[in-house]
Amino acid sequence: MTPTRHDIALDPPVALAPLAGITDLPFRNLVSRFGAGLVVSEMIASGEFLSARPGTREKAELGVEVENTAVQIAGREPGAMAEAARQVADMGARVIDINMGCPAKKVTGGLSGSALMRDPDHALRLIEAVVGAVDLPVTLKTRLGWDDDRRNAPDLARRAEAAGVARVVIHGRTRCQFYKGRADWAAIRAVKAAVSIPVIANGDIVDTATARDALAQSRADGVMIGRGAQGRPWALAEVAHDIHGARAPDIPQGEALCDMISDHYDAMLRFYGADLGLRVARKHLGWYMDRAGTPAPLRREVLTCREAAKVTRLIPLMIRHGERAAA
């Protein structure tokens, strides 16, 4: 298949970053309802996906029916990446995103993720294989480089554009930085200057103020937000409204917030099943309680409870007691 250039709009230009174990389908759906230009699935390892390792497809639940969703794939072998892209496309995906930015040792140890920035020729072969396998927009997420001596993101982005990639997301750190220090938004400007396709800035962007700074320093076309949405699924919509004039989100308070959290909790229980859902939900409940200022004894009770029904009964208390403590 001949690579096809796709121009894809990101409206509003505020995207949810893929975060392993966090941005699952229930959370992406919630963020989408508030208003986000794009949400990205948790990373799918192409080899595991193709071998149908138990739980891989279920965990990845792609949400391909959601219009503003991109499905992210990772891997080392061009053939496996191409076949995974084809299968995801057959499932109804609208956008395929290639992960070349994950810094985790279990990913880079397998010569995937940001490890590919050490071998840009091989990285390009993977990009060409995916672009050539599907008639869908293909995007790329990467970092500034492997380390400070190899900040090759501008060159990789230029070659990716020539291969047919429609958009790039740049996290403003090198792989060797992991998540330490501050993201270098100004360094993303070199990527923007190297390509004509849209460039999205990522890293340490958590609210309107940091989004404005990142856009000013990088001259990027949009931003991608990850941890800023934890406990605040409306955060992307706030940024989109403040900077781009999108519809203002109706931020829930009081009883409406309790209802939203309860609905999110129920969605996780349905998605994962009661036992696993109870455990997976704890991180999200913790972030909601962080925002609400829930008293420590009640927080401990929520996070150690082993009965889903009891947690449901505690949700209104954790918000109301938190609001009283903050008053």
Residues noted as catalytic: 102
Domain ranges of the chain: 14-244, 254-326
The pLDDT of residue 262: 97
Residue 222: pLDDT over 60: yes
Residue 5 marked in a binding site: no
pLDDT in tens, 240-271: 999 999 999 999 999 999 999 999 999 999 99
Residue 177 marked in a binding site: no
- In CATH terms, the fold of domain 14-244 is TIM Barrel (3.20.20)
Q: How confident is the model at residue 103 (pLDDT cuts 50, 70, 90)?
A: confident
Residue 106 marked in a binding site: no
Residue 171 marked in a binding site: yes
**What is the number of other CB atoms lying within 10 angstroms of the CB of residue 86?**
16
Q: How confident is the model at residue 16 (pLDDT cuts 50, 70, 90)?
A: very high
The pLDDT of residue 8: 74
The pLDDT of residue 269: 95
Residue 113 marked in a binding site: no
| pTM (2 d.p.) | 0.91
